[in-house]
A and B are shown apart, each in its own frame.
Chain A
Amino acid sequence: MDNNPPPNPSPWLRLFRRNPNATTTRLRRRQATVSFFTRRLSQIIVALLAVGYFWLLILPSPRLGRGTYIDENALQPGQVNTYWNWGDVHAADVYLEQLELLRDSNATSHQRAQFLMNEFAKLGLSPATQKYSFQSSSNHGSINGANAYAILASPRGPRNEAMVISASWLSRIGEGDGTLNLRGVSTVLALARFLKNYSLWAKDIVFVIGDGYLDGMHAWLNAYHGVKQSNLEAEPLELTSGVIWTALNIDYPGHSFSHLGLFFEGLNGRLPNQDLMNSVQHIARYTGQVPVTVYDHLEWRDPSAQPSELTFLPSPLCHHPEIKEFAYRAKNILRHIGYQARGRASGVHGLYHQFRIDAVTVFAVPAIGPHGFHALGRIVESSLRTMNNLLERLHASFFFFILTTPDQFMKIGSYLPSAILISVAMMFRGLRCWVDAGWRPDHPHSKKGDHSPRIPVWSRRSRPVLHVFAMMLMTHLCGVVLFLIVRSSFFLYRQKLLTPLIVLAVSLVPFVVPKIYYPFHQGVAPAWLLLKALNLCFASTVISTITVLNFSLAALLAVALGLPLLLAQPSKSTPLSWFKYILYTLLASGWLFLFQEVRDAIWQWEILSVWFAPFFCLVYTPLVIQAGIVCILPHS
C-alpha cells in the first residue's frame, strides 16, 4: 500500500521488478468489480428471473425449434417396397371378428390369452402365455391378467437381437379406462401372419399382446429382463429371444383413423431416441401417405381440426397464423410436460425405456376415415424394415428434445437455459442471504448537529450452520413420514377423511422444527436469514441437477419454487407473517386434496416405480415448508 514513487530503475530491471503500485491497482480493480456486482445483484437476480420465466413462456415459439432429421444413417427409412396388401387386410378383419366374438362373450383374460396363443400357433410361430398378478395398496386388492406372445425366429440372424411389436388389450384412450384396442391386437396378429413369409429379418420379431393397459406389458418386460418386483407375481417366460433394441406399440381403438399420433414419453421422464420417432414419422408420411401428429392433437392447418380454442382472444388475433401456430405448439408442450414432469408413460411404449429399449406408440387417431388396416400395416412393415437395418443401438445423444410439432423439435440448448437461469437466480439470492447473515451493521450514534451521512460499521456475526442443517433435516424427515403415510393403504382407504388432518399436521411442522435449539442473540445471524440462504441454495441445486434427468419436472419446480422461495421473508406485522405462512402451507401440502392424482401417483410408484411421488414428498414439500418456517421465525 506504499504510494511513494520508486527510484527510477533501469528498463532492464523493470522487466523483472513489478510496479510496486501493481498490488494496489489490482486490489482497487477487484474491489470495483466486486462492488459493481454486489450493488447490482438485485437487478441481476431480477433480470435472470425475468429472462428465465420469459424463456419458459416462449418455448412454443416456432423460432426456437428446428426441423427433425435422421441422425443414424443405417436406418434408411422409407427406402423399401412394402408388400402388405388387401389380402392381409382381410386377414386382419377376420381376426377382428373373432376378437369381437371374444369380447361379446365376456371372455376372461386367460381365455383370451389362450385364444391368441392358439392363433399364433396356427401360424407356425412358437407361442406362449404368461399369467401375472400385482398387489397394490391403492387399488384395493390385486390386478390379475394373462399375456400372450410369440416369437418369429430370425431366418438370417444369430438370434441375439430382437424387436418387438406389441399391443395392449386396453387402448391408451382414457388411460386404460376400458376402451378396447381390438384393431391394434388384430393388426399384430395379421402382421405375425404376414411377416412370417419373408426371410429378410436379421433380428427376431417378438409379438406381444399385453393384458390390461400398462400392467400386462410391465409384467412381461420384467419377466423378460429377469427383474424381481416384490408386489408382482409373474410366471417366468417359456420362450425368450435376444436383446430387444427397438419396439413399436400399436394402438388402434377406433373404427378408422385420419392421422397417426406419436406418443413417446416413458416412465420417469425418459424419452426414446428421436431417430426412431423421426423414422416412423417419415415412413407414415411417405410410405403410408398418412398425416402424422404429435399425440392426438391435430394441427391447426388441418381441415379436420377442431375450430380454434383461442376464442377468448379478439378475432383478428385469434385467426393470426402465428398465434395459432404458437397455441398449437404450446398445447403439445403442455401435454409433454404433463406426462414427463409426473414421470408418467404416455402409453405402453413407456415401459420399455427403463430397459434401454427405444419404443414409441403409433396411435391411430379415431375418425370416420379414410385410413385403416391397409395404411397401418404398410407403415409398421416399413418401420420394421428400418429397425431391421440397425447395426448397433441407437445412440448419439438424441434423447434430449421437446417435440413441438411432428416435424419440428427443440434441441437441449434451446430449452435448458430457461430452468437453469431461474435456478442461478435462486443461487445468487441464496449466496446474498449467506453473506448478509455473516455481517451486522452497527449504526454509530451521531452527535448533535452532525448532519454527515452515517456510515454503518460492519461487524462479523457467527453463522450456526449446524443448527439450521438440523432444522432442514427435520423437515425432510417429516417428508419421509408424510410419504409413508400417504402410501399406506390405511390412508388410501380413508383418503377424503384423513387428508385435512394430514394437511393440518403438515401445517404444524413449522412450529415444531424451530424448537431445535438456536442461539438467538446479537452476535449471531438471524435464523431465518441463514435458513433462507441454505434453502435457496439447495433448491437451486436440485432444480439444476434435475434438468438433465427430467426437464419438465425441473421447469415445474422452477415455476413452483422459484418465486415463492425467493420471496419468503418474515414481516414486521404478525398477521402478514401468518398470512404468508398459511400460503406456504397450502403450497406445500395443498396437492393432497387432488385425491385422484395422489392415488394415481402412489399406484405408479408401487407398480411402475415412478419416483415422482416420493420425490414430491421428500424434496418439494420440505423445501416449501422451510420457506414457511422462514416466514414465522423472528425478524431479527
Chain B
Amino acid sequence: MSSKPLAEIKLSAASCAIIISRVACAFLGLSGVLKHDQLLSTSLSSYSQLKEGVFLFRNGLDPYSGGNFRHSPLLLALFSVILPESRTSASLIWTSFDLTGAWALISIWKARQNVGATSKDALINASYLLNPYVFLPTLALSSSTLQNTLTLLSIKFAAEGRASPSLFLLSILLHVDLSTILLLLPILLLLITDPHSHLASPHPLTANLRRTIPLFGKYILYTSILAIASTIITGGVQWIPQTWGATLTLPDLKPNPGMWWYFFTEIFDHFRPFFLMVFSVHLLIYVVPICIKFQYDPLYATFLLLGVLGTFKAYPTLSDPGLFLSTLAVFPEVFSYLRHPIVTALLHLHAALLMPLFNHLWLNTGTGNANFFYASTLVFACANGAALIDAIWAGMRIAIGREVQNYVVVQE
C-alpha cells in the first residue's frame, strides 16, 4: 500500500526536477548566443525579427512593408502587448510555452490511455522537456516553440473531444504557419472518433464522415475571423504575401535544417515556380493516404503527419522534428515493432553533431562551404525520414501481432 504513493511521489519529484532544471536554463542567458543560430530559428520564427516588427508596429510603421518581418499579425499583436522587456523574462515566457506543451502532451497521453495520473507521466514530461531539439530552439527564443505548443494543445483538445478550442487553436496555428493545414484532416477525424489506440485492431471508420462538415465549417469560420482580425490589426492585407506567401514562395533563402533552401538557391529562376508548386503539393499528398490507412486511429495519423511536417516543410527549425520525436512517447505500444530504432537514433546523433559543426565550418571558420552544411542537413533528413518510415511500419505491423518462428511479415 505504502509503496505505490511513494513511487508516485518519486515520479512527481522527477517531473518537478525536470521543470525546475528547465526554468533554471532560462536564467542562464544563452539566448544571446543561440539567437542567431540557423538551426534553431529561421526568418519566419526568429526572435530578433519579431522584436524588430514589434518596434516598427509600435512606432506606427507598417512592419510588413520592409519585406523582413514574416511573423503572423496575431503574434505581432500578442507581443506588442506582452513583449518581454528583458532577455530573462523572454526566456521565462518561452519556457512557459514549453511547459504548457509538455502538459498538453501528458494530457494527450492520458486521453489515449483513458487513465488518470500514471507512472509514465514523468517519462513523457522528460521526452518533451529534455529533448534537445525542443529546448534549444526555446533557449534561442524561436517562435517555433509557440507553434509546437499550439499544435500540442490543439491535438490535446481534439483528443478530449472538445471541438471548438481545438479548431480555434488549429486556425491560430494556420496563421502562424501555413503548412500546418496538413493537420486539419486527421484532427477532424480525431474529433469524430476517439483517441484510444486501435492500432492492433484495424477496422474501417465507423463514425459518420458527414459530422466533419460542421467542424470544418467552424474551422473556416475561425480562420476567417482571425484573418479579418489580422487585417484590422495591420490595416490592410499586405501581411498575406509576407506570412502565408513566404511559406509558398520561399523569398528568404537563409540556410536552415530543412530541404528547401539549398535546392532553391541552386535552381535556375525559370524553374522556380514549378518546383515551388511541386514542393508545396508534395507536402499535401501525404495527408489523404495516411488518413485512409490509419482511419481507425486518427491520433496516430496526426503523429505521422507531424513527422512529414518536420521532414519536409519549408522553414523548419530543429523543434519541428523534435516535436515528432517527443510525441512518439505517447505511443509505447509500437516501440517493440520499430524495425531499426538504433539506426535511426545513430543517424540523429550523427546529424545532431554534424549540422552545428558544418554550419560552423562554413560560416565561422570559412574552411568549409555550403555543400558541407547541406550534406549534413541531408543526413538529418535521412534520420527524420527513417524515423517516419519506421513509425509508419510499426503502426501497421502491430496489427499482425508477434512474429511466429519461420514466418516472416513482408510488405507487398
A356 touches B357 (CB 8 A): no
A356 → chain B closest CB, angstroms: 5
A458 to B346, CA, bound (A): 26
- B350's partner among A27, A395, A458, A541 (CB-CB below 8 A) is A541
Indicate if B226 sits at the interface (CB-CB under 8 A): no
A270 touches B342 (CB 8 A): no
A393 touches B342 (CB 8 A): no
A607 → chain B closest CB, angstroms: 20
Indicate if A55 sits at the interface (CB-CB under 8 A): no
- A356's partner among B354, B365, B405 (CB-CB below 8 A) is B365
B353 touches A545 (CB 8 A): yes
A541 touches B410 (CB 8 A): no
A26 to B412, CA, bound (A): 11
A23 touches B346 (CB 8 A): no
Which parts of B350-368 form the interface with A (CB within 8 Å)? 350, 353-354, 357-358, 361, 364-368
Residue numbers in B under 8 Å from A27 (CB-CB): 408, 410
A400-B367, A541-B353 known; A549 vs B361 contact (CB < 8 Å): yes
B366 touches A356 (CB 8 A): yes
A541 to B354, CA, bound (A): 10
A27-B408, A27-B410, A431-B342 known; A395 vs B361 contact (CB < 8 Å): no
B369 touches A397 (CB 8 A): yes
B377 → chain A closest CB, angstroms: 15
Encoded as 1 (CB less than 8 Å from any A CB) or 0, chain B from 370 to 408 comes to 001000000000000000000000000000000001011
A541 touches B367 (CB 8 A): no
A393 touches B350 (CB 8 A): no
A23 touches B368 (CB 8 A): no
Indicate if B253 sits at the interface (CB-CB under 8 A): no
Indicate if A399 sits at the interface (CB-CB under 8 A): yes
Residue numbers in B under 8 Å from A397 (CB-CB): 367-369
B346 touches A541 (CB 8 A): yes
A1 to B354, CA, bound (A): 44
B349 touches A541 (CB 8 A): yes
Which parts of A369-412 form the interface with B (CB within 8 Å)? 393, 395, 397, 399-400
B370 → chain A closest CB, angstroms: 11
Indicate if A548 sits at the interface (CB-CB under 8 A): yes
Residue numbers in B under 8 Å from A549 (CB-CB): 357, 361
Indicate if A169 sits at the interface (CB-CB under 8 A): no
B161 → chain A closest CB, angstroms: 33
B368 touches A545 (CB 8 A): no
A545 touches B354 (CB 8 A): yes
A537-B346, A541-B346 known; A270 vs B412 contact (CB < 8 Å): no
A434 touches B357 (CB 8 A): no
B308 → chain A closest CB, angstroms: 27
B353 touches A399 (CB 8 A): no
Which parts of A520-570 form the interface with B (CB within 8 Å)? 537-538, 541-542, 544-545, 548-549
A1 to B390, CA, bound (A): 24
Question: Residue on B with the closest CB to A533?
Answer: B342
Residue numbers in B under 8 Å from A26 (CB-CB): 410
A399 to B365, CA, bound (A): 10
A353 to B368, CA, bound (A): 14
B410 touches A23 (CB 8 A): yes
Residue numbers in A under 8 Å from B368 (CB-CB): 397, 399, 548
B342 touches A434 (CB 8 A): yes
Question: Residue on B with the closest CB to A394?
Answer: B366
Residue numbers in A under 8 Å from B358 (CB-CB): 548
Encoded as 1 (CB less than 8 Å from any B CB) or 0, chain A from 434 to 459 comes to 10000000000000000000000110
Interface centre among B354, B367, B368, B410 (most CB of A within 10 A): B367
Residue numbers in B under 8 Å from A1 (CB-CB): 407
A395 touches B366 (CB 8 A): yes
A542 to B353, CA, bound (A): 8
B386 → chain A closest CB, angstroms: 14
A399 touches B410 (CB 8 A): no
A542 to B372, CA, bound (A): 17
Encoded as 1 (CB less than 8 Å from any B CB) or 0, chain A from 69 to 90 comes to 0000000000000000000000
Question: Residue on B with the closest CB to A542?
Answer: B353
Which parts of A257-279 form the interface with B (CB within 8 Å)? 270-271
Encoded as 1 (CB less than 8 Å from any B CB) or 0, chain A from 108 to 145 comes to 00000000000000000000000000000000000000
Question: Residue on A with the closest CB to B340?
Answer: A431
A173 → chain B closest CB, angstroms: 29
A270-B365, A356-B366, A545-B357 known; A23 vs B342 contact (CB < 8 Å): no
Residue numbers in A under 8 Å from B350 (CB-CB): 541, 544-545
A497 to B368, CA, bound (A): 45
Question: Residue on A with the closest CB to B126?
Answer: A466
A457 to B405, CA, bound (A): 9
Question: Residue on B with the closest CB to A537?
Answer: B346
A21 to B361, CA, bound (A): 52
A537 touches B342 (CB 8 A): yes
Residue numbers in B under 8 Å from A544 (CB-CB): 350
A26 to B369, CA, bound (A): 42
A346 to B10, CA, bound (A): 54
Question: Residue on A with the closest CB to B369?
Answer: A397
Question: Residue on B with the closest CB to A538?
Answer: B349
A537-B346, A541-B349 known; A548 vs B361 contact (CB < 8 Å): yes
A89 → chain B closest CB, angstroms: 37
A541 to B405, CA, bound (A): 35
B367 touches A270 (CB 8 A): yes
A541 to B368, CA, bound (A): 20
Residue numbers in A under 8 Å from B357 (CB-CB): 545, 548-549
Question: Residue on B with the closest CB to A540?
Answer: B346
- B367's partner among A399, A431, A457, A542 (CB-CB below 8 A) is A399
A393 to B346, CA, bound (A): 37
Residue numbers in B under 8 Å from A434 (CB-CB): 342
Taking A23-B412, A457-B405, A545-B357 as given, write out 19 further A-B residue pairs in contact, using a Cβ cutoff of 8 Å, ordered by the A residue number: A26-B410, A27-B408, A270-B365, A271-B367, A354-B365, A356-B364, A356-B366, A395-B366, A395-B369, A397-B368, A431-B342, A537-B342, A541-B346, A542-B353, A545-B353, A545-B354, A548-B368, A549-B357, A549-B361
Query: Sorted from nearest, which 6 A-B pairs have the closest CB atoms?
Result: A399-B367, A545-B353, A356-B366, A541-B349, A434-B342, A541-B350
The 21 listed contacts between A and B (C-beta, < 8 Å) are A23-B412, A27-B410, A270-B365, A354-B365, A356-B366, A395-B369, A397-B368, A399-B367, A431-B342, A431-B343, A434-B342, A457-B405, A537-B342, A538-B349, A541-B349, A541-B353, A545-B353, A548-B358, A548-B368, A549-B357, A549-B361
Query: Which residues of chain B have a CB within 8 Å of any CB of chain A?
Result: 342-343, 346, 349-350, 353-354, 357-358, 361, 364-369, 372, 405, 407-408, 410, 412
